[in-house]
Structure 1
Amino acid sequence: MAKVKISVGRIVLHVDLYATPTAQAVLAAAPFESRVTLWPGEIYFQAPLRAGREDDAREVVEPGEIAFRPEGEVIIIGYGPTPCSEAEEIRFASRANVWGRSGDDLTRLAALEGGELVRVEPVVEVEPA
């Protein structure tokens, strides 16, 4: 399974990629850097990739899922309820392509400050000898 690492501030997220065109586009674009923007319950940042909206794009994601919004070409990481949410769900302002999942604690993202450097890089797994 392909993976990427997203580092922002002191936080490192390990992301398992789904088998989607957007996941392949993220992997092909990595490594890249951007600056983080904050919105209540999520962070997002520009990504140097183009991907159309996938048929299964959605507004509501499960905790740990990572998405890409074609409008604005941004990667979105939700960690809690947003102003668009109903109850405790993680709901984005518009449908986004869900391309990966992290098992790391995303609630740590709430401590970030806007403008922090974010780096996305591929994880190369070494086969045991």
Structure 2
Amino acid sequence: MTLRIRVSWPAGHTTATIEETPTSAALVGALPIVSTARTWGEEVYFDTPVSVPVESDARQVVAPGTVAFWTEGDALALPYGPTPISLGDEPRLASPCNILGTLDGDPRILATVRDGDPIRVERVG
């Protein structure tokens, strides 16, 4: 089963398709979430009230537009390009993250998120 979430900030919004995982179940149970956006290179991340362990398929290098959960920071991580520790153009997360799904549409929309923006995550449909 998949579900969709909407991520909104002052300059725009995007939606994402989320797969069923232990982490996504915990995240969906906490929605809606209102947080403060942080940027790290071409990644947006923000705190959540969710705390979960690293899953067996956690990855550090992901595709642009991956919806990931950074367990060390209890944060949702949305990379759309290289981060300060990337090798080349890949999005490289701070540490292995649980993979939840992918953004619908062009992940570069996240470039309009500014550090400190209010950000909201809610279920769609």
Whether the TM-score (by the shorter chain) exceeds 0.5 is: yes
Give the drift of 1:110.
2.1
Give the drift of 1:114.
1.1
Pairing of 1:1-129 with structure 2 (within 5 A): 1-124=2-125
DSSP-derived class of the 1:2 partner: strand
How many residue pairs were aligned? 124
DSSP-derived class of the 2:73 partner: coil
DSSP-derived class of the 2:92 partner: strand
- Mapped to 1, the partners of 2:3 and 2:113 lie a distance apart of 27
Instruction: String of CA shifts for 1:65-116, please: whole Å, max 9, x gaps.
Output: 1111111101111010111111111111101001121122221222322110
RMSD of the alignment, in Å?
A: 1.1
The runs of 4+ residues in structure 1 deviating greater than 6 Å are none
Task: Select the structure of larger CA radius of gyration.
Answer: 1
- Mapped to 2, the partners of 1:8 and 1:105 lie a distance apart of 16
- Mapped to 1, the partners of 2:59 and 2:67 lie a distance apart of 11
Give the drift of 1:26.
1.2
DSSP-derived class of the 2:55 partner: coil
Q: TM-score, normalised by structure 2?
A: 0.93
- Mapped to 1, the partners of 2:123 and 2:109 lie a distance apart of 22
- Mapped to 2, the partners of 1:93 and 1:72 lie a distance apart of 10
> Bigger shift: 106-115 or 38-47?
106-115
DSSP-derived class of the 2:7 partner: strand
DSSP-derived class of the 2:61 partner: strand
Q: TM-score, normalised by structure 1?
A: 0.90
- Mapped to 2, the partners of 1:72 and 1:65 lie a distance apart of 17
DSSP-derived class of the 1:86 partner: coil
- Mapped to 1, the partners of 2:109 and 2:13 lie a distance apart of 10
Residue of structure 2 equivalent to 1:127: none
